[in-house]
Structure 1
Amino acid sequence: MTHHATVLVIDDEVRSLETLRRVLADEFEVIGARSTGEAEAVLAGEMVQVILCDQRMPGETGVAFLKRVRDQWPDTVRMIISGYTDSEDIIAGINEAGIYQYVTKPWHPDALLASVRDAAALFRLQKEAGGAAAETKPSPQALAAAVEGRRRAERGRYEFDRIVHAPSSPVEGVIALARRATLYDISVLITGESGTGKELLARAIHYGSARGDKPFVVENCGALPDELLESELFGCKKGAFTGAYQDRVGLFEVADGGTIFLDEIGETSPSFQVKLLRVLQEGEIRPLGAQRPRKVDVRVVAATNRDLLGEVDAGRFRRDLYYRLAAFPVHLPALKDRPMDIPPVAARLLDDVNRTFHRRVSGFAPETLAAFAAHRWPGNVRELANEIQRMVALSDRDGPLGPELLSDVVRPAAPPVIDGEGGGGLLRERVEALERALIEASLRRTGGNISRSADELGLSRVGLRAKMERYDLGRGGADAD
């Protein structure tokens, strides 16, 4: 039987606590606590490896609680979660409380899960190295092998082949382009709307490259004020600012030899951009308060949902930094521009939800898939994931999810149910109704442009025209190339 590390999650908000529990439950034994008092009772009776504590707690801050934990249960790996408004308090206590990582809100489930995996691995390696008897302590080679095994598993989890898409999807071209980026040590800029999977693509580039056996480090540049962002990325010396009680290693140094992923790079201030440019130009960092710079060998993959060239023209983003970051630009199209991906992506998301919720929902009714195809998905894959989670939570059976479970945002786009029962009719009739709805949705999106709709649907122009005639669609519409 595989032993799962125990994670203690502390949050006074029930909804947040349950969300964190769902994200972590597949890989860890998760114990929830709604107060620091409850958490202390858990720690007194349970062996806990990782603590994930919210900063804003009734009666006591997360940092203050973790300071006490450090004294009584020093072996635990302590993590704090909060928004940027609490950053000064957290900076002041991050070293004193021995906090391993500061997780900022809003957090992404994949990134949070990866951080907790790292924390659990750190606990295990520390115990192997420091807690074993002298004659049974693992050798440096054994520790290196353990780290390598974990990284090998990470590489398998984030291969290009695991990026879900249809054979006719424009994502095929994106992946082919990104694969080329793995062959050369070059900065990559990934653009695209929020929720399109930019971090997933960045991880695939890293693990597919020669740096794949080195660290992959993530920082959300839009979530932190300048001083904290500089400390996180470049490090700091003891006394560099209020709360800097000891030297701190920055993420660029942690990522030495590997890759750093700078998400939301378009949100950074001009003053920070100057400092980042120097790092890229000189290949060295200067921790806050340090007299001398330090050389680092790090590949930078940046991402943004902004039109960065437009930001350059508007004077909000440095042109020289843009061209340093965008040596190899890659654009991820929005979900609305690749509707052929919706069925396979939805199927993968449903598998994930089934594992998280311990359910066995078998799929989607044709009418539901048609509604998915007709919706614009401004939140992209993240919005689709939320919709599927909600539908599974509302469903009392494990059969296909029907259109009656759709949210009001998505339901107006749903085509009418094929018959009065919502589940009858010959298979051929149901498939034809779905095909007609998909074609109608595509023609609406493209303004009747047959060439673009044919590309979206993976059909030839002649094939699409034949189906339009069969279903009596599109008369009088545009036919531009």
Structure 2
Amino acid sequence: METLPTILVIDDEPRSVEALERILEEEFDVFTATTVSQARQILEREWVQVVLCDQRMPEMSGVEFLAQVREEWPEVIRMIISGYADSGDIIDSINESGIYQYISKPWHPEDLLLKLRNAVDMFNLQRQNEQLAIELRVKPSTLARAIEDKRRVLQSRFADVQGIVRSADSCLNAVCEKIRTVAPYDVNVLITGESGTGKELCARALHYNSLRRDHPFVVENCGAIPDDLLESELFGHKRGAFTGAVEDRVGLLERANGGTIFLDEIGEISPAFQVKLLRVLQEGEIRPVGSSTRRKIDVRVIAATNRNLEEEVRAGRFRQDLYYRIATFTIEMPPLREHPQDIPLLADHILAEAMEQLGKQVKGFTDEAPSCLQAYHWPGNVRELQNEIKRMLVLGRDDWLGAELISPHVLRATPEEAASDMALLTSMQGTLKERIECLEAMILKETLIRHRWNKTRAAQELGLSRVGLRSKLERYGLQKVEQLDAVTEQTPRKEAGEP
């Protein structure tokens, strides 16, 4: 049988004790006491997880008793319940006895149960934390070996920039050559490019091919949080520096000491914070928020942005001196549409990762699917391709992922003629009839691919007869579609690697 969490209820009024016991007994193993001495006896013989104590009692106040509990049974979660919502009592409770929750009377049963469930969760988390601390003390060598093994895996993945998937004739080869050139030198690097082009991957390759590879690699997205929180994240803060700063915190720049920090979306930071960051880069020192002491740091900065920082400098939105500090060397990541020859390799790599992540296995893509993916322009770059392949994997019911699983808006860009078709459609040239025929041809292509070239199903969806569909295919010169249709109707689908 599952053991219920143990709650100790202390109140000098028997009726209050009985009411609480009735509410709690279905979810908790409840012990009750009407005096402090009774409560102490229960704590000495039972494994109590949460104490729910009334504030006003004859022998001593709840705050005074819970302060004693804190000294003798520090792991017990302490809660006060009282009908006297005096602010002084609340402050005393928090400061003197370290209570977890102050509950005012009259209480609502569901609200009380929720708070007690949370208290039990807190107790369990404390126990797990203690066990982990013991493991850390007992097995430091084991943990050190595990960390070293993970570091070696990362280093091997990015050794000689092999972690950047590309084909033999890819434009990424020039990017990788730049990474090899600059990585060993301790200079700051600015990586530019559209969102989703792999700027963080480039930054990791720079770090793991540098002399700092045995030290931390820390990432911060500067565009995701406001200035005040970003300052605390990067520089750290002292306890009490601002509301919510309940303890000292080491900043990311200090955590990255000896290693590399990657500042993504650096073009989004405000002019005021640019001044603070510039001072850190110039002096090699940080001052945590709320502290008067400066600390020396040794960090290589790799920054990234999807903006044109030179134009931002000319427009006065980005400091020129900061730009020159972070852009000692610049690497531009090309958009995916400029190296479509990499898409089949990228698709296989992404699919392997997606299968491991989602716990679903397939044999791969059909021969047709990669060519359809190559024809699309991918405005979201590799990140959009990742989402598309995950979608295909989720939807797939066969061993092979076919083109029919690709999103309609991607399929409309296939086959290769689609680019010129779209140019005609959107240009000011051509009559209305020509543009409508272009759009009709694109819809026919997308529908046939989605239905695996089955003309019967495609004709039904489009409201055409099979003869009418064949006539339109001949009219638009879609001979490849007809030939492929004949092949797929007569032969089974070819698996990857088969002759």
* TM-score, length basis structure 2: 0.59
Contact residue 188 and residue 326 of structure 1 kept, 8 A? yes
The yes-or-no answer on 1:344 pairing with 2:345 is: yes
Q: CA deviation at 1:152?
A: 2.0
The yes-or-no answer on 1:233 pairing with 2:234 is: yes
CA distance in 2, matches of 1:388, 1:237: 45
Contact residue 334 and residue 380 of structure 1 kept, 8 A? yes
Equivalent runs, 1:299-338 vs 2, <5 Å: 299-338=300-339
Equivalent runs, 1:49-448 vs 2, <5 Å: 69-74=121-126, 76=128, 126-130=133-137, 137-138=138-139, 144-159=144-159, 160-399=161-400, 401-415=401-415, 416=445, 418=481, 419-420=484-485, 423=488
Pair member with larger Rg: 2
CA pair 360-146 structure 1, distance change in 2 beyond 3 A:
closer
CA distance in 2, matches of 1:240, 1:67: 28
User: What's the CA shift string for 1:399-440, capped at 9, x where partnerless?
Assistant: 2x222211121011123454336735899x9x9xxxxxxxxx
CA distance in 2, matches of 1:242, 1:343: 51
Query: Which range is displaced more, 146-155 or 285-294?
Result: 146-155
Q: CA deviation at 1:293?
A: 1.0
Contact residue 364 and residue 402 of structure 1 kept, 8 A? yes
CA pair 167-249 structure 1, distance change in 2 beyond 3 A:
same
SS, match of residue 391 in structure 1: helix
CA distance in 2, matches of 1:151, 1:357: 24
CA pair 68-373 structure 1, distance change in 2 beyond 3 A:
same
Q: Which amino acid aligns with 1:406?
A: I
Contact residue 367 and residue 414 of structure 1 kept, 8 A? no
Q: Which amino acid aligns with 1:255?
A: A
CA distance in 2, matches of 1:425, 1:186: 61
In structure 1, list runs of 5 or more residues that go unmatched: 1-37, 39-43, 45-58, 78-121, 131-136, 432-481
CA pair 359-242 structure 1, distance change in 2 beyond 3 A:
closer
Contact residue 148 and residue 213 of structure 1 kept, 8 A? no
Q: CA deviation at 1:385?
A: 1.0
Q: CA deviation at 1:239?
A: 1.3
CA distance in 2, matches of 1:379, 1:66: 41
| Root-mean-square deviation (Å) | 3.2
CA distance in 1, matches of 2:173, 2:343: 14
Q: Which amino acid aligns with 1:202?
A: A
Contact residue 284 and residue 293 of structure 1 kept, 8 A? yes
Match for residue 57 of structure 2? Answer: none
Q: CA deviation at 1:367?
A: 3.1
CA distance in 2, matches of 1:371, 1:203: 31
Q: CA deviation at 1:68?
A: 7.2
CA distance in 2, matches of 1:379, 1:329: 22
CA distance in 2, matches of 1:227, 1:214: 28
SS, match of residue 218 in structure 1: strand
**Percent identity of the aligned residues?**
51
User: What's the CA shift string for 1:124-168, capped at 9, x where partnerless?
Assistant: 6x44333xxxxxx346x6654443333223322443112110110
Q: CA deviation at 1:362?
A: 2.6
SS, match of residue 362 in structure 2: coil
Q: CA deviation at 1:181?
A: 1.7
CA pair 391-208 structure 1, distance change in 2 beyond 3 A:
same
User: What's the CA shift string for 1:162-198, capped at 9, x where partnerless?
Assistant: 2110110011110110111211101011111111111
Equivalent runs, 1:31-42 vs 2, <5 Å: none
Contact residue 166 and residue 340 of structure 1 kept, 8 A? yes
Contact residue 192 and residue 334 of structure 1 kept, 8 A? yes
Q: CA deviation at 1:71?
A: 4.5
User: What's the CA shift string for 1:340-379, capped at 9, x where partnerless?
Assistant: 1111001111112222333332333343222212111011
Q: Which amino acid aligns with 1:196?
A: T
How many residue pairs are counted as aligned between the two chains?
320
CA distance in 1, matches of 2:268, 2:357: 33
Higher relative CO (Cα under 8 Å, sequence separation at least 6) belongs to 1
CA distance in 1, matches of 2:131, 2:354: 28
CA pair 395-227 structure 1, distance change in 2 beyond 3 A:
same
User: What's the CA shift string for 1:454-478, capped at 9, x where partnerless?
Assistant: xxxxxxxxxxxxxxxxxxxxxxxxx
CA distance in 1, matches of 2:203, 2:262: 7
The runs of at least 4 consecutive aligned structure 1 residues that moved more than 6 Å come to 64-68
Contact residue 403 and residue 414 of structure 1 kept, 8 A? no
User: What's the CA shift string for 1:212-240, capped at 9, x where partnerless?
Assistant: 11111111111111111000100011111
CA pair 378-332 structure 1, distance change in 2 beyond 3 A:
same
CA pair 423-352 structure 1, distance change in 2 beyond 3 A:
farther
SS, match of residue 190 in structure 2: strand
Match for residue 11 of structure 1? Answer: none
User: What's the CA shift string for 1:237-263, capped at 9, x where partnerless?
Assistant: 111111111211101111100011111
CA distance in 2, matches of 1:334, 1:311: 21
